[in-house]
Structures are given as structure tokens and as C-alpha cells.
Structure 1
């Protein structure tokens, strides 16, 4: 298998060039921390005219200047006009040794933060509060006003290199103070850093305390209550959609680094080579659908409208129509109250609605959680079909838990010879699921104390010890084999990267204008005929010859050659002849696995007695949008335990945990989480009924 890039970077600095062309200062306060931290950082940029600023947690920050622009005395004088500025000491980092004393991730961030707005006016990089934010005006949320369009929200990508030298792309939203009543404020508005946007450069800048601007021109880093800004990890439907995905932002950053920083810093993404790749097995989907169909035909369903207004009535009618279209033999009714001996599909508002209006959430009062499924109208009114499929699947899992046996898939086909145990922690309690070779389910839960010692106590201790070892890695669960080999699943800050450079360059080529003479195009097509034989070749050649156009561009060529297979073959042939790209074919099997293998199927490898794996989307029938990155997870054997996670890889190759897609953890964890959910709800109801 070929190498796959990940977001971990190796960094090389040209220290001699940095010392020659820049001055870097370290500013340290005598206080325990920097008061008004983000303000002083932003004032350092505006008042001291530095190229960039980066903050080191604690009591210091670094400033980057073009060499000769400023000296230590200049900075000292300027700081005296800033709150608590007299408490700062200043050190110029003017030797290679002093530069090497700066943590690598901070020095790299300092240079990334220095990037100015690129030529593309739609995109801008912003150094705010010691971080780098990238914005694209296509993502702005606007509304019409008397003075034109009013910007309400500015979605952005916060670009940072963490201590582990991993490049992180985080979605952040800057909201206009016009929305102040809707914002989820956790402190006084005076305590938030305020920013304004330049409409000419699309850059954000700090609003200083003495400035007075209209609320519509002031933004804070905050989102509306109950809302979340989503920027897809990768979109390749067209160049515009790519540019506003995370990989599009990364491609822009890559180009900026190469054009402006390559003499000073080199960032290379590390790679890993998978040892195993597991593609989705369609046979499993057929078997799952047969089980679901049988479950539907053997049970009754009842839609319960807990909202009881015009919108919910329409929603319930659409739901019952979609249910009957998907499952014609289903026995389904609709009403206002739950029924016994039925699977109840309960339509309610989402939790934000009940919190906003201080109304008791009916979800919390529902008793039969193992025979009911709640559907929130705000979240699903535009995806009724997926609601039906997902709801029935969830009810099948609940029925399996109730029966104590896996029926949604044939567990015995995995050919496991012994029991498997799966464990998770929720708050102070530990929960375990034991599955027999035949698929029988046994759940248990308890609190790990000195007075509750049993066979599971060792597993709980391991879980807690691993949690305390590395705060940056989250324990997602433990697995225990029949031979008592224990493996721990840990998440990390790493994720895989598609070949975003080739994808971006392909879009650039496919949108680069060109002209070709009619005679040249005829000659190229005649050469094409010698290598590719198609019935329509003669038709297309005649259309080119008989055209009244003496010069052709991309659009006119594609208008003539409209047969998909011929167009695809001619696109490659034409590119090899002219260097001009007619069209892109990212969904083609060879192309998608060449450019996006990092985000397809299940991949696994071993390294230093640890397992490493990541899960993408199904390789077949992919969409043009990958909402999330493929996170890298690590499998750590406990003490002398065998590394055995590869045996469980097939248990992730199912599509009933994530809707119509493969799952990132062995599917028994889904059963275990559902059991935990039911257990917690039962305790809540029991406690609420106590006098």
C-alpha cells in the first residue's frame, strides 16, 4: 500500500536566514500571567507594527519584526503606554541558540501568523490574539439591510500547530453584536475581545478600547445558542466548494507558505503506510436489511405527536407516508399518546427549544426507552427518509438489548471462539458488555471502589491509569479477549490527509482558461482515434470539422464530446498533448483511491507494539463531500497482553451505527452506549419519583 499523509508535521528552520531578515523579541511579564492577554497581543500588532505575535501559555509572548524596523528600546517605550506594560522585560532572540530555545511549535506558529492577505480577495489570513484565523467571504452569513448587505456571522478556520507538532484546523465563528441577544454569552460582553472587518481586505482587526463603532461593525468570537457552524473536511464537487472546505483552506495555506515563507521554514506532513485495508461488504448490508424487514413485519409502530401544532401534524403525516413507502407491510398508527406493546416514535422539539422557553422536556419523562425512539422535528424535518431508516435501526438495537442477543447481524459468522468484553466509563461508573461466541449479551455496571472488588476491577484500574498518563489522549474504551488479553482504544489529535495539493492543483488547471485552433483540435482528435476506438468518434470529429468556430475553449469542446467514457478518455489524452485540463473525475475508482485513500474504508497498521487505525467513508458510491476527518486511533496492549485488535476490524465494517456508513469503533460499543443511556434514564425517572 502507498503512504498516507497525516497532520503531524516535521519542521525545518533556516535559522541563518531568519536572523538575517527578521528580529524576534520575547516579552515576559513579572506577573504570574499576562493581564488582558489578547488585548496586549493585538495592541502589539497594531501599535508596535509587528509582523506577527504568538502567545506562550504562562507569562510571555513573542513578536516578529522585519529586521531593523524596531529595537528593544522602541518596544520598551511603546509598552509603557499599554496597561501593565511596565511589568514586561524584553529579550531579543538574536542567536541560533536563542531561536532554538523557542519551542518549535511556537516559532512555526509565529511565522504562520505573519502571513498577509493573499491576492485572492475572497480569502484572508488574520493574526488575532496570537492565533491565525483564515476566512473566506463565501461563508459569511448575511442579511439585507437599508444600507445593503449586513454581515451577521464570519465563520473561520483557526490554524494552529500544537505541542505535539500536529496541525489543527478548528472551526470558529465571529458573530456581530447585532445578534447579542441570541449569543451564548458566558461572561459580561465587556470581557470579550472585539473585532471589526475591513470590507476592502476582508481582514479582521482588533477594536481598541477607545474606538466607538456601531454594533453591526463589531464582532466577537461566539456562536448563537444551540447553533453550530459546520465547515466540511473535504468537498470536491467544484472549485468553489473545495475552497470553503478545510482542505481548501489548507491548500491556500500551503500555497502561501511556499510563496512567502519557504526561505525560512519548511513544513512536511508525515506519513504512515497501512498494512491492512478492509472495504465494505455489501452482503452484510443485505443481511441487515433482511433482519430489519423481519423486525418491522413482526412488530407494530405508533407515531406520537408530543408537539401538537400544524407543523408537527404535517411532519407526522410525512413521516407515516415515508414509513409506508419504505416498509409497505408495516403496521403503523398515529396519535397523541404512547401505546404499550408498540414501538413508539415520539415527535418532540430539540432540547434547545425547551431550554429557551423554560418548558419541561417530554423526553425526560418518557419511561419505555427500550421500546421508544424520540425524533426532534428541528433536526430532521428535511431528511424524513433517513429518519425512518435510522429510527427502525435504533429500535432493532434496543430490541436486541432487551432480548440479550445480537440479531441485527450474525455474530457467529465472525467465528470467534471465546467471549469478548467491551468496557467504557461514564462519569464515575464503569459499564461492560460481555458477548458470547453465539452473540448472547450480558451487561454489567458498577463503581470502582475498594469495596467493590471483582473480576472487572482490574479493567477499571487500567482504564483510569491510562487516562491519567496522557491528558491529551482520550480513552474511548477497552477490549478484553477470552484469554484476558487487554487492549485499550485511545484517540489522538492526529488525522489523515487526502492529497489536497493534487486536488487543489486539479481544480486550478480545470479552471485555467485556454484557446485552441480548430485545426489543432482536429489533429489531436485524429490522434486520439488511433488509440481509442468508439462508434461515436467519427460523429465527434465531424462536429469539430463542421463547426463555424475557428477557435475552441474548454466549454465548447465539452459541449461536443458529451459521451462520458469518451470524454473521460479524451480529457486525459488532451491533457497529455496540451497540458490543458478539460474536466476532473475525482469519483473515478482509480482517482479516488489515489487522491483520497486516506479517507476511504478501514485501514490498520502496527508500530512499536501498538495498533494504529483510521476509518473513512465507504469506498464505493462516495459523495462529493466528506463532513469529517478520519481520526487516527491507537490500540495499546496492557502490559504483556497480545495486540489483538485486528481480529475485531470486521466488527467496524457495518453501516448501522453511523447512518449508511461504516463505524469508527467495534459496533458492540454502540450496544453498550445504548445500554448506558437506558440505564441512566431509568435512574433519572426513578429519582424523580422519590418523595
Structure 2
């Protein structure tokens, strides 16, 4: 290949090739497999392994995905019938040989064949369609000598490490690689996570002070659990909750989870899931709200009441109990639901709101056939929701991007060069190291608005399971662009912990109410 030929190769392809070659320098405990690097975070050989699959996309975003590998011997010992049942799909899966000591993954067969080795692996979890335990996006232990090790077992740490190694070994081929940094504005009301949680519970109690909730046992076998749950609420929250075998208007319903009915002894039993067109119902599973020891799972019970409250708010068409202290009168929200081929519209006046389906004859040119968006003569449904700013008459489409914010580069440097205990606790460290991962952040780029919803609280976090997704807000009709979207007002509609308990919601809370609306209608139709 000549230099001119090399120049024609896409940058992403070059970076992926160099990424794979890092193991030549023994700098990465990884495995070369079909053009991708597998970063190893396993500590020992096992029938069940997981690797971080790393590659660059065409737009130079580094992708890190957790992949599960399970030894054939495991299926034979634990799931013989399941393996036979799914042989059509699993039988067509490639077989791999894995050696952790030599950091190698080798494909040894394209599919099942007689005489295959029991110690070969399939790139599948232990149970079909079950996702592997995800490697945390962010992890940090600041104790002596543990910062670097802990950080490199998280996806964000792996990303920084691999970029560092590419620069170290291949800097003669390209300019220094680094993650893009943008200056973002932050929206933070300055309320601690504990304070938010306390306020939430007060709002729940206030909402239910003149209403009664029935605790309904649909399992017919958990009277002790019903009593324990009733005692918990009586001792901790002044809610009017009474147990009964007869439903009322507001109901918390105790049922079993699906795994219970999958067991051989219970296959003849009928799923007790409860729904009603006229009642407000929140189902909760015995397995989810009760420990095996017989004590309650506090957070699960509080979440059940919270979800029941949201459904009651949907029925009353009044979100004053959310206590958001914001006015959404200037906005109309739209969301398309492919399963029902239906678009919902959310309008509000002060705290009163209305959700209704809109017809396919909606008179705006951007909404065709239930809000399919026509752009460049192509129809797409990849938009999460659409926002109409009534003041400017602008329509905005909101969609996910492949971008995610990382901890600050200074954290990788501090963890790598750690001497003694890493000073990573407190509000100062939080702002220094996790600026993009906390609060609500937004920035403008190429006449488009981007935002992400991060963690809440005041102190430093030491773990974050998943990355915060950056979303794009794109103006569709280019009217009155001098009148910018009221970003602060929009972001405040996400500064609500009702939607995700003790966390902010990644979409405006009206979207949550619309989701509940469509879910209830679908359940009623199934009946």
C-alpha cells in the first residue's frame, strides 16, 4: 500500500487497526477478535466470562460494550433442555477458544458440530436474551494504591487508558488523540439528593392525605407479607393504606413476578397481574418488595407508591402535587408510539394539563401520519419527542446522540499518578472531576442545542452504573430563529425526581405522563 493509498483509508478504520495492535506491546490485556479489541477485566478463568468490546465508530466515537461469553459445559450442566430448545439459534453461533493467561480469543468454529470441545465458549449470556452484568461506566476508590486499579475497571477509565496507549505507541502517525471538550452551561438548583428525597416523600404524603389506598393481595398466599407491608407504612408514612380482598379506586396490588410462574410447580397457575379501566392500579411483586428474610425492601415500596401517585396525577390531569413551580404554558409536547401507531399531544395551563391523541390530518407539514417526521423526503421515527414553542412557533425534535460525557481528564491523570490517598471527596472534587456527569448541562454547536441529565447531589460520587446520554434539540422549521428556545424553562421540566426516584428524569416530566397514558390504554385494549 502506498502513502497515497493509505491516505484514502478512513480514520476510523486506521484507529481500529491500531487499537487491535496495542496488545503487541503487552500494554492491554485484550484479545483480537474479528477486527475488535476485547479488553479483559476478568480476574480468573471461569465458565462465565465477560469482556469489554472496544471499537471506533465512523464519527470517531469510542464504543465500549460489555459482552458475555459462556462455556458450552455450563449449558450442558445447568440448562440442558434450554440449550436443546434454542439449538436453532445457539447452534448457529460461532465457537471460541479463550486463554486469559495469553490474552487470546480464537474463533474455532462457525457453528455447532459433532465432537466440539466442552471448554469452548459461545458469545451469549448464561440465559438466552439475558444481558450480562454491565461494567460500571464510572468507578473510583481513592484509597492508597486503589484509584488507578478501580478506575480502569470502569468503561470511562478503559476509554482514557486506551487513548493514552494509542498516543504513547503511535504518536508518529497522527496528532495527539484526545476526547473533545466543550464549554457547557449547568443548571443546578443546589438541593442535595437527601433533601430532594425528603421533599418527595412529603409531597407524596400531602397528595394522599385525603385519599385511601387499598393493599390488595392477588397471590392468595402472602397474608404475612401484607401485614408486614401495612405495618411498614403505618410506622413510617402517615398514608391511609388498608388491606382488603376487594379493590377500591386506588390500589397497590401484590402479585408474583414472571419467574415464579416459570417454575415447574407453578406452570398451571394464572398470572395475577391486575389492570382496570376505572381504577388506579400499581402492581408490585412479592419478590421485589420483600427480602427473603421477611423484611420489606423500603425503596421498592416507596417507588410503588410514587408510581401510583403518578397514575393518580394522570387521572386528575393536574400536576400541582409535583411542586415543580414552573410554567409549561408556552410548550406543547408530542410523542409518537410505534407499537400503537399513535401520537400523543400534551398541553397545559398552569398546573392543569391534557393528554390526547392527535389525528393523522394534523395541519402542520412536519407531522404526517401520526407524527412521522418528513425530512429530505424521508420518513423517520428516531426522534424521542417533539416540542412546540408557542412563542416563536418553532418545532424542535429531540433525539439521542451517540455522545456521552466523561469524567474530566484530570481524574485519569490523578488516578494514574496517585501518591497516597486521592483527594476525591467533597463538592470541590465533584465539580473538578465530574463536571459533565452531574446536574443538567447544555451547550450550543452548529446552531443546535445539546443537553444531558447527570447525577444529582452535593458530594463526589464513587460509582455511576451507566453513562449519561447527550441529546440533541434540533429546530425543524427555521422560523424566528432569533427567538431562542427557553432552555432554562425546558430544563426545569427535567429537574423532577418523581419520574426516577432520587434521580432527575432524562426527558421532561410530561413525557413520563404520556408514557403512562399510552401504557394504560394498551393494557385496557389487551383486556
| TM-score higher than 0.5 | yes
Aligned pair 1:133/2:38, yes or no? yes
1:485 maps onto 2:394 in alignment:
yes
Candidates 271, 274, 279, aligned match of 2:181: 271
Question: Distance in 1 between the 2:400 and 2:59 partners?
Answer: 14
- 1:522 is matched with none
Are 1:502 and 2:340 matched, yes or no? no
Structure 1 Cα separation of the partners of residues 370 and 448 of structure 2: 16
- For the pair 1:167 / 2:65, whether they are aligned, the reply is no
Q: Is the 8 A contact 2:217 2:226 kept in 1?
A: yes
SS at 2:404's partner residue? strand
**Alpha carbons of structure 1 residues 330 and 277: separation in structure 2 relative to 1, 3 Å:** closer
Cα separation, 2, equivalents of 1:356 and 1:100? 59
Which of 495, 517, 520 is 1:675 aligned to?
Answer: 517
Q: CA RMSD in A?
A: 3.3
The residue number in structure 2 matching 1:35 is none
SS at match of 1:677: helix
Residue in structure 2 matched with residue 402 of structure 1 by the alignment: 315
Distance across 2 between alignment mates of 1:242 and 1:469: 46
Q: How does 1:248-647 map to 2 (within 5 A)?
A: 248-265=157-174, 266-281=176-191, 288-308=200-220, 316=226, 318-327=228-237, 329-334=238-243, 337-350=245-258, 354=261, 362=271, 366-367=275-276, 371-379=280-288, 381=290, 384-410=297-323, 413-416=325-328, 418-427=329-338, 428-446=340-358, 448=360, 453-455=361-363, 458-460=366-368, 463-465=371-373, 474-483=382-391, 484-499=393-408, 501-510=409-418, 581-641=419-479, 642=481, 643-646=484-487, 647=489
Alpha-carbon contact 2:366-2:373 (below 8 Å) kept: no
Please name the residue that 1:227 is paired with: 130
Between the aligned partners of 1:218 and 1:505, the Cα distance in structure 2 is 39
Q: How many residues align?
A: 497
Equivalence map 1:114-153=2 (5 Å): 114-116=21-23, 124-138=29-43, 151-153=46-48
Aligned mates of 1:234, 1:163 — CA distance in 2: 25
TM-score (norm 2): 0.84
Bigger Cα displacement from structure 2, 95-104 vs 196-205: 196-205
SS where residue 231 of structure 1 aligns? coil
**1:292: Cα distance to partner?**
0.8
Change in CA separation of 1:492 and 1:471 when aligned onto 2, cut-off 3 Å: farther
State the 1:365 CA deviation: 5.0
1:156 touches 1:172 (CA, 8 Å); kept in 2?
A: yes
After superposition, give the CA deviation of every residue in 1:602-636 in whole Å (9 maximum; x if it has no partner): 01122222111111101414542111111111101
Task: State the TM-score, normalizing by the size of structure 1.
Answer: 0.65
**Counterpart residue number, 1:552:** none
Distance in 2 between residues matched to 1:174 and 1:495, nearest whole Å:
26
Against the structure 1 CA distance between its residues 597 and 289, is the aligned structure 2 distance closer, same or farther, given a 3 Å change threshold?
same
Structure 2 distance, partners of 1:344, 1:304, is 6
- Is the 1:463–1:475 Cα contact (8 Å) retained in structure 2? no
The structure that has the greater radius of gyration is 1
After TM superposition, list the pairs within 5 Å mapping 1:208-247 onto structure 2.
208=109, 214-215=117-118, 217-223=119-125, 224-225=127-128, 227-228=130-131, 229-237=133-141, 239=146, 240-247=149-156
| CA gap 1:619/1:295 in 2 versus in 1, 3 angstroms | closer
Give the 3 Å change call, closer, same or farther, for CA 619–675 of structure 1 in structure 2.
same
CA contact (8 A) 1:463 1:478 kept: no
CA separation in 1, counterparts of 2:71 and 2:224? 35
Q: Specify every segment of 5 or more residues in structure 1 that has no aligned partner in the other structure, as ranges.
A: 1-93, 141-149, 511-580, 686-691
Task: Give the conservation status (yes or no) of the 8 Å contact 2:38–2:54.
Answer: yes
For 1:362, what is the secondary structure of its paired residue? coil
The 3 A distance-change label for structure 1 pair 502 and 315 is: farther
Q: Does the 8 Å contact 1:276/1:605 carry over to 2?
A: no
For residue 354 of structure 1, report the CA deviation from its aligned partner.
4.2
Deviations 1:91-123 (A, max 9, x none): xxx112211222221121111112217758xx6
1:287 positional shift: 5.3
What are structure 2's unaligned runs of at least 5 residues? none
From 9, 17, 31, the counterpart of 1:110: 17
Deviation at 1:157, TM superposition (A): 1.1
Q: Matches of 1:471 and 1:118 in 2, distance apart? A: 48
Deviation at 1:368, TM superposition (A): 5.1
